[in-house]
Amino acid sequence: MEWGEALVDSLLAVLMACVGLLPESMATPFEYQFMQRALLTSIVVGLVCGVLSCFVVLKRWALLGDAISYAVLPGVAIAYLLGWPFFVGAFIAGALTSLGIGFIERTTRIKSDTAIGIMFTAAFALGVVIIGKIATSTHLMHILFGNVLGVDKGALLLTLVAGVIALLAVLLGYKALFAYAFDEIHAQALGLNTAAIHYGLILLLTLTIVASLETVGIILVVAMLIIPGATAYLLTDRLSRMIGLAALCGVLSTVIGLYLAYYFDLASGGAMVLVAAGLFLLSLLLAPRHGLLARFWQWRVAS
């Protein structure tokens, strides 16, 4: 994995060159290597979560994201017992659960919410049972609540690879995802394989969730996959702009949250999500067309 470490070192060097352009007071926290790794990881996670959150919001998959996030727990626990990387166990468990949800929904009379409930509770219960048999759960707590300040080069490399895969998939399949996100029936009429798009998008969502585990944790990754997209949804009616705004919101949330966590000794994952929630509230109030103030003004003018 020497090439991987070389790649990470190169990216960190480029990032620190950019940080060096900031005022000294803002660049001070990144004198430490663990903060440099945390910053790069946060940017990648914020970017990828922001992009995919648009499709989560448009497809109304917030509950699905929640289910996948908790369903990776047995995979994490089993990986811990076998000495595997958490990433591997989490992805296998999340992929099996998400594909199971899609299979039940598309091949039976069971609706999506019921399928999600069945698979989510079963997987989560299995994870709880396995964790109950483990003598120490210290490392599992990091997976649940996030530990971005403790990310090593190996975890950072996995996050980078997963992020690149997710972003390339969205870029290459943008037109198909666009049609599927807004009108699945129309996408079928165009000859698109909506089943493949459905399962592919679910797998991308799973990959993103797993890649975000060590940054914001299972419990908080759901928020990072919903709030940036919801914020951008209030600001624009075009998908391309929505993706750009959501990505920006995701990156700002993670970077500002990291600063707050460093200076005020806060939980990093919680700080990131609170910043994202703050950006959403600003959008809710000030969005030019769909914000509360704009709607109030339109009501006043109309009356």
User: Which comes out higher in pLDDT, residue 247 or 64?
Assistant: 247
Question: 115: which DSSP letter?
Answer: H
Lowest mean pLDDT among 141-145, 178-182, 198-202, 230-234: 141-145
CB 78 within 8 A of CB 143: no
pLDDT (average), residues 166-194: 90
The pLDDT assigned to 289 comes to 85
**pLDDT, tens only, 126-178:** 887 887 776 555 455 666 666 777 788 887 888 888 899 999 999 999 999 99
pLDDT at 1 (0 to 100) = 59
Q: How many CB atoms lie within 10 A of CB 149?
A: 16
pLDDT tens digits for range 116-135: 888 888 888 888 788 777 65
pLDDT tens profile 41-51: 999 999 999 99
What pLDDT is stored for residue 215 in this prediction?
A: 67
User: How many CB atoms are located within 10 Å of the residue 138 CB?
Assistant: 7
Q: What is the pLDDT of residues 56-98, one digit of tens each?
A: 999 888 877 777 777 888 887 888 788 887 778 888 888 888 7
Q: Between 233 and 109, where is the model more confident? A: 233
Q: Stretch 261-281: mean pLDDT, rounded?
A: 90
Would you state the pLDDT for residue 6?
A: 86
> What DSSP state is assigned to residue 178?
H
pTM: 0.89
Q: What pLDDT, on a 0 to 100 scale, did the predictor assign at position 58?
A: 92
Q: Which residues lie below 8 Å from residue 40, measured CB to CB, with a gap of 6+?
A: 8, 11, 12, 15, 156
pLDDT of residue 61: 84
- Structure confidence at residue 85 (pLDDT): 75
Residue 134 tokens, joined: 């483990």
User: To 5 degrees, how large is the angle CA 160–CA 273–CA 243?
Assistant: 60
Buried b (16+ CB within 10 A) or exposed e, 272-303: bbbbbeebbeebeeebeeebeeeeeeeeeeee
On average, the pLDDT of the chain sits at 85
Handedness of CA 102, 84, 255, 22 (dihedral sign): negative
